Amino acid sequence: MKSKVYSTKGEELRTIELDEKIFGLPINEDVIWYAINNELANKRLGTAHTKDRSEVHGSNAKPYKQKGTGRARRGDKKSPLLVGGGVIFGPRHRDFSYSMPKKAKRLAIKTILSLKAQSEMLKLIEDFSVESGKTKDLAAIIKNFSLTERTVLVLNGNADQSRKIRQAGANIPYLTILSYHILRAHDLFYARKLIMFEGAAQRLSEFYDEVEARQ
């Protein structure tokens, strides 16, 4: 698959060949759904917690005698039927996270990249740096490719470049910045524009080849 590479001003520079094993796969909706739901589940805190009758503060003593009062039987004041008592079937603290097969996760990322490339939402840009670290300088570059749409910028992994660009992009609300070797299915799938460094596109193939060779 061929793709054009653009300058930071939005001008066409050259055409390069993209790896078909990453950008030319058929769309697998099932694995995309699985990966996105896995990420969302792993992000859930699961901190909602209500107290049952064993956790509510209060006496265990019987409030009044069993018979002769004409009232309902009460074991203690912490009954869920009384105001201030425990909660029946309320939410409890729990861990929602679960693991996903690594091969399936990689397939989901590749499938989403293929989807973006085939739907022309992927734009390759020459590697650049924002030496000033200022938001306005990065925003001027992004504006040539995306107009306040949900946008993902994929970097090539260069530490110095990444630090400055992340600093500059921290105040752009519609921009998410990722590195080529740490991609998230949710961010990639819902991005209206995917801007990727030329170096990141080239390193992706090497990265996945090395990972799969180790397994």
3-class SS of residue 46: coil
* Per-residue pLDDT band at 206 (split at 50, 70, 90): confident
Looking at domain 2-44+99-213, its CATH superfamily turns out to be Ribosomal protein L4/L1 (3.40.1370.10)
Predicted confidence (pLDDT) at residue 166 exceeds the cutoff of 80: yes
Q: What is the mean pLDDT of residues 139-165?
A: 90
The answer to whether residue 161 scores a pLDDT higher than 90 is no
pLDDT of the residue at 144: 92
Q: Could you give the residue ranges of the DSSP H alpha helices within the chain? A: 20-23, 29-43, 102-118, 135-142, 159-169, 185-190, 198-213
pLDDT recorded at residue 192 = 94
pTM of the model: 0.84
Rounded CA-CA distance 173/3 in Å is: 28
- The domain ranges of the chain are 2-44+99-213, 46-95
Tokens of 14: 């050259």
Beta bridge partner(s), residue 5: 14, 124
Quick: pLDDT tens for 28-57.
Answer: 999 999 999 999 999 999 999 999 999 999
